[in-house]
Amino acid sequence: MNTLVGTLKYFAIIMAELSALFIVISTIVALVFMSLPQDRMKAWLTGRGLWGNALGVLFGAVTPFCACSTVPMTLGFLQAGVPFGTVMSFVISSPLMDPLVFTLLVAFMGWKVAVGFLVLTSAFAIFFGAFLEKMGWADQVRNVRLKRTGEPQDDQIPEGFKKRLAASVRKAWGDFKAVFVYMIVGVGIGAAIYGYLPEGLLSKVAGADNPLAVLVVALIGMPLYIRVESAIPIGLAMMQKGASIGAVIALIISGAGIAIPELTMLASIFKRKIIVAFVVIVFISAVLSGLIFNLLI
């Protein structure tokens, strides 16, 4: 009964937080895009090549968004005509990096781990975003019409802050209704895993004597939906019990980067090929980052 109550409480809290975050962030994104001069916004966001991917990663690193709250940002970017590769670099990097995460890593695991984490996650996000762009997978976007560079805006921007705010709220509510069912399904699965996964399982399989620890922990972390801020203290406790630094890094990246609620909401924007590619990309990034950490630290 305690487990059931805890699971339901987790579901209610996460659902409320995600709903509020989605609507608020969607409103802010729409308002920002309406308020910024169009030529300046295009100059900032439509950079091509690796520079555009780097800008996507930079934006993801300076914005304190969790995995699921990156979805409304993704919608806003796509609808504004931001290049597909830049958007994917943002999607990959945003749930993993922000100023608070960097500070926590420095405080709990040292500046070397923090810098290494930042460099590796940035490099993988830039590379894989550019790779998906080169693969020509921009046509795997559903329910969002991608605007070409230089294409005129179809919708007239309202005059005055109050009218823009009202239009932004209406747009946010429409986007929220479009992904609401996906959100319920994803959060429900995440809550069940959270409530019923046996305690201590991660620590047992992540020991330094296990040569497959990084791979196994990356696999286990994928369905957990662990916020980075929560994963760092868990990782510290695992290290104190003998887990390798590589296993901990793999857990942080896979647990925070592959969130079931985020995947279900992204499925309303992207076709199946992108969703599968996203999971594979985060998993590869988690495993390679963990192995690199084990070799260097």
Q: What is the pLDDT along the chain (297 residues), one digit of tens a residue?
A: 667 888 888 788 878 877 887 788 778 877 876 776 655 655 665 666 788 888 888 877 766 555 556 777 788 778 777 888 988 998 888 878 766 678 778 887 889 999 999 999 999 999 999 999 999 888 888 755 545 444 444 456 777 888 888 988 888 888 788 768 767 876 777 677 667 756 566 556 666 667 788 888 888 878 776 666 667 777 777 777 677 889 889 988 988 787 777 787 788 889 889 999 999 999 999 999 999 998 887
- How far is 95 from 73, CA to CA, in rounded Å? 12
Domain boundaries, the chain: 2-296
Residue 152 has a pLDDT of: 42
- How far is 135 from 50, CA to CA, in rounded Å? 15
* Predicted model pTM: 0.69
Residue 67 has a pLDDT of: 54
Count helices and strands in the chain by DSSP H and E runs: 14, 0
Residue 148 has a pLDDT of: 47
Nearest to residue 104, comparing CAs of 286, 296, 254, 248?
A: 248
Instruction: Look at the chain and count its residues.
Output: 297
Residue 149 has a pLDDT of: 43
Residue 293 has a pLDDT of: 93
